[in-house]
Amino acid sequence: MNATKNPPKMSDFVPETEENEEEPMETKPESKKPVEAVVVDQNFSRRFLNNKWYGKYGEDGALLEHLSNDWVPVAEDEQEFLSQLWFEQEEQEKNAHKHYDWDEEKKEWVPKPTTSEEVNEDFIAEYQANYGVQYDDIYKKMDEELQEKAAKAQKEVEEKKEQKKRKKQGLHTEEAKKEGWIDLGDKVHAVYVSNLPTNITDDEFQEFMSKCGVIQPDIRTNKPKCKLYRDEQGELKGDGRCCYIKKESVELACNILDGSMLLGKEVKVEEAHFEMKGDFDPSRKRKKLTATQKKRYMEQQNKLFEWTPDKPRNYRPKSDCTVIVKNLFTLEMMAKNAALMLDLKEEMSESCQKYGTVKKVVVYDNHPDGVVSVTFPTTEESDMAVKYLNGRVVDGRKLTAELWDGKTKYKIQETEEDEERRRKEFEKFIEGKSDQNGDDDDDEKEDSEKEDDGEE
């Protein structure tokens, strides 16, 4: 054969078989595949590929196929494919036997001898010195970064506190700090009015300033924030200040009211600027409003700009549903009888039910006019009560009945002496009532004893 060097005899290169192992056949190949190549001699090697035996001489020899008890060259069209399979299996064998050696005496693969070093502190130290990471430098750098971040955060907090403190004092800018003026921005919409007549009243000044907008009410007192400045003796100084709800009212007042005549004097109107006098005193600062109070205040301001239709001709206020009855009792009567207030409330509630549904009855026990108020759901019922109660005589006293004007307050706060006197009278009333109950119990006991004697 041209492709081989002195092809081996058939008897020399037949694949060896173990005991109890059948020789592979061409028609029925062996199911067991050997993993490693079996070297017959120094040059020829064989492998079981694709269910057939193949062999070759050396590294560059041509592949030979075992057919019909003979070795024949492989067809050219299968040469490349089988060479690839031969190469892959050879690589697998090398990797599998990387850590093993073939023992000729034992006829088996044995692990290669290895030298192991003891892992101790010296070994770890040497490894860290050569290949390890210098953690001390990393930790030091991390500590420096953390300290720098903490210092930066602390500095920001201090700057915010200082800024907040300056804001409270009104020192927003260096210029304002030097001059002492406070820039309130859009928080206050106020005008400063000078050259006012000294005989003007608060109502006249308020009416004059209200021509350019709605005056802002105070959030606590609900009074208009329109003020005339006075000196230490209480005399008018001829200037004042007015705060508006809308910012546009400030510009309108400066354009319209500035230079106008008021009680014979030409007034000057300009935008107000505020100046702090003295140092900031936290004790004089007003208490902050709650969220509910702020919401209620804003709702009240918005209502001032709401459009409401005109009231009808027959409109009557809600206060007309309450009837004020006077001269129903005296303070002497109330002092002598501690339970008189409860009795009057019950009697008025029952007697007024004939005029309509009684919603509420209040007895003003400390009022010298002996006042009692009765509230009805509708004005028709209250008118009926006034018609029949006014001029009525009760225990020699002539009653007066009228509708409540919605403004007059009838509740009078009693003094400590009156409270002590009322408490003593009530204690006497309680003691007298208990004594009376005790007498009634004795009478019932005597009656029961008499009945028992009669039965006997």
Q: Where are the domains of the chain?
A: 1-113, 181-279, 318-403
Cα–Cα distance measured from residue 366 to residue 413, given in angstroms and rounded to the nearest whole number: 7
Calculate the dihedral angle through the C-alpha atoms of 198, 204, 205, 208, rounding to the nearest 10 degrees: -130
| pLDDT for the residue 442 | 54
Q: Which CATH architecture has domain 181-279?
A: 2-Layer Sandwich (3.30)
Cα–Cα distance measured from residue 372 to residue 394, given in angstroms and rounded to the nearest whole number: 14
| pLDDT for the residue 437 | 56
What is the pLDDT of the chain when averaged over all its residues?
76
Q: Residue 160: pLDDT band by 50, 70, 90 thresholds?
A: confident
Q: State which fold the 318-403 domain adopts.
A: Alpha-Beta Plaits (3.30.70)
Of the candidates 190, 170, 192, the one whose C-alpha atom is nearest the C-alpha of residue 182 is 170
pLDDT tens-digit map of 227-255:
899 988 889 999 999 999 888 899 999 99
Listing DSSP states for 73-99 in one string gives EPPHHHHHHHHHHHHHHHHHHHHHTTT
| pLDDT for the residue 9 | 43
Calculate the dihedral angle through the C-alpha atoms of 7, 8, 9, 11, rounding to the nearest 10 degrees: -150
Mean pLDDT score, 127-139: 64
Mean pLDDT score, 30-44: 47
- Decide if 181-279 and 318-403 have a common fold: yes
In the chain, the percentage of residues whose pLDDT exceeds 90 is: 22
Of the candidates 279, 283, 281, the one whose C-alpha atom is nearest the C-alpha of residue 180 is 279
pLDDT tens-digit map of 334-381:
878 878 889 999 999 999 999 999 999 999 988 999 999 999 999 999
| Bigger pLDDT: 7 vs 191 | 191
Q: Which of 69-73, 194-198, 393-397 has the lowest mean pLDDT?
A: 69-73
| Bigger pLDDT: 74 vs 260 | 260
Q: Residue 313: pLDDT band by 50, 70, 90 thresholds?
A: confident
User: 189: helix, coil or strand?
Assistant: strand
CB 404 within 8 A of CB 319: yes
Find residue 195's DSSP bridge partners: none
Does the pTM exceed 0.85?
no
Neighbour tally for 73: CB within 10 Å: 15
Find residue 228's DSSP bridge partners: 240
| Bigger pLDDT: 12 vs 419 | 419
Mean pLDDT score, 278-295: 72
pLDDT for residue 28 is more than 50: no
Q: Which of 19-33, 87-101, 186-200, 242-256 has the lowest mean pLDDT?
A: 19-33
